Amino acid sequence: MAMEQQSIWDATDTLSRPVSKRDIFFDKVFRWVTHAFTLGTIFVLFYIVFKIGGKALPVISEFGLEFITSTTWDVNAGKFGILPEIWGTLYSSILALILGGSFGIAIAIFLTQDFLHYRIQIVLKNIIELLAAIPSVVYGLWGIFVLIPLIRPLADYLHNHFGWIPFFSTSLSGPGMFPAALVLSIMILPTVAAISQDALLAVPLKTKEAAYGMGTTRWEAILRVMLPTASGGIFGSLVLGFGRALGETMALAMLVGNSNDISLSVFSPADTLATLLALNFPEAGEYEASVLMYAACVLLLITLLVNIAGATIITRCDCRSMK
């Protein structure tokens, strides 16, 4: 066998040579390194879930589902419930998704469909992506010192004239759901805009040509062809933006008001799971720490479900358009 293999390289009329031992060695090392890093990442993920779950386990068995449905949080009485925080997390994120999502998609359309000169498009795209570079705490400060004074007249007007609408039923006393959701929407806007832009740019030129060739105006081409074709990616951008909003902590801790209430009014203070964790862990004893771990598990579960739902819908959309 070995002899036979050797023989094909005996020829003198070719410059090709057998793979050297060194090449084979590096090939193997490269493969093992990538495998190790991949497995390491997966291991870290499971380790985090395992540790948090483990610490929360005694509390999970003690409170059970009541923890999720109860609204009292009293450390002294040993009563814990996070329904207001779950509500606040979802409510602020959904508001941010509606605001930031519509702005983000509109920006993506404006910057990809030849409305502007190519160079201006690039400049604007980069400026919008810079929004993602602003630290969360800076957003928080800006929210407290600029945004809240700025929106107060509007909030007062809405509350005085449209107070009968549940969304405006309380007055804005300072921090609250509305400024928090506004800042959140600015924070998720670059994510939504950037990924939606990529999705719109990925629509093949021939599809665009087909639309214009049928005699569509620019709006018809965008609404009837470009957006539906890019819908998978656009939806993905919304899911990622939503995921980011669910977990956002610092800016919300500064803006949302940290009040353990459930209210439909966007002007009343509220609380979210992430800010609950951030603000309570410094004074937490071992028992309270487990309670917070349970809350962390709930947050983890929510983001996980959102991401799985998003990924499922995206792959389904992609499969349809790829076929």
Partner 1 sequence: MFMKSSDVAENLYKTHSMPYENISEEIVLNCQAERIFYGDFLAVRDSSVPILKNQITGFIGPSGCGKSTVLKSINRMNDLVHGFRFEGKILFHNIDIYNKKVDPVNVRRSIGMVFQQPNPFSMSIYENVAFGLRLNRYKGNMDEKVEQALRGAALWDEVKNKLKNNGTSLSGGQQQRLCIARAIATEPRVLLMDEPCSALDPIATRQIEELMVKLKERFTLVIVTHNMQQAQRVADQTAFFSVDISQGGRTGYLVEMGPTRELFENPKEQLTEEYLSGEFS
Those residues whose C-beta lies under 8 Å from the C-beta of residue 309, and which sit 6 or more positions away, are 239
User: Under the criterion CB under 8 A, does residue 153 sit at the interface with partner 1?
Assistant: no
Q: How many Å apart are CA 298 and CA 244, to the nearest integer? A: 16
201 belongs to the binding site for partner 1 (CB under 8 A) = no
Q: Among 48-56, 208-216, 247-255, 301-309, which window interacts with partner 1 (CB under 8 A)?
A: 208-216
Q: With CA atoms as reference, report the closest residue to 311 among 233, 244, 248, 247.
A: 233
Instruction: Report helix, strand and coil shares of the chain as percent, to nearest 5.
Output: 75, 0, 20
The distance of closest approach from Cβ of residue 208 to partner 1 in the complex, given in angstroms and rounded to an integer, is 8
The DSSP line for 6-68 is HHTT--SS----PPPHHHHHHHHHHHHHHHHHHHHHHHHHHHHHHHHHHHHHHHHHHHTTHHH
Q: Which of 51, 79, 161, 224 binds partner 1 (CB under 8 A)?
A: 224
* Chosen residue from 173, 228, 278, 307 binding partner 1 by CB under 8 A: 228
If binding is defined by CB under 8 A, does position 214 make contact with partner 1?
Answer: yes
**At its nearest, how many Å lie between partner 1 and the CB of residue 113?**
12
DSSP per-residue codes, 143-180: IIIIIHHHHHHHHHHHHHHHTTSGGGSS---SS-HHHH
Nearer Cβ to partner 1 (38/315): 315
Q: Which is nearer to partner 1, 47 or 212 (CB)?
A: 212
Give, as one character, the DSSP assignment of residue 270.
B
By CB under 8 A, is residue 207 in contact with partner 1? yes
Minimum distance of partner 1 from residue 314's CB (angstroms)? 14
**Any contact of residue 23 with partner 1 (CB under 8 A)?**
no
211 binds partner 1 (CB under 8 A): yes
In the bound state with partner 1, the residue whose beta carbon lies nearer, of 169 and 231, is: 231
Q: Contact with partner 1 (CB under 8 A): which of 113, 136, 216, 259? A: 216
119 touches partner 1 by CB under 8 A: no
Hey, what long-range contacts does 148-152 have (CB within 8 A, 24 or more apart)?
A: 148/172, 148/174, 148/175, 148/179, 148/255, 151/178, 151/179, 151/182
First to last CA, the chain: 46
User: Does residue 202 contact residue 232 with C-beta atoms inside 8 Å?
Assistant: no
* C-beta separation of 246 from 307 below 8 A: no
Smallest gap from Cβ 117 to partner 1, in A, equals 10
d(CA 36, CA 32): 6
Of 160, 217, 312, 315, which one interacts with partner 1 (CB under 8 A)?
A: 217
* Closest CB 196 distance from partner 1, rounded Å: 17
Q: Is 249 in the site for partner 1 (CB under 8 A)?
A: no
The answer to whether 204 contacts partner 1 (rule: CB under 8 A) is: yes
Is 212 a binder of partner 1 (CB under 8 A)? yes
- Binding interface with partner 1 (CB under 8 A): 204, 206-207, 209-217, 220, 224-225, 228-229, 320-323
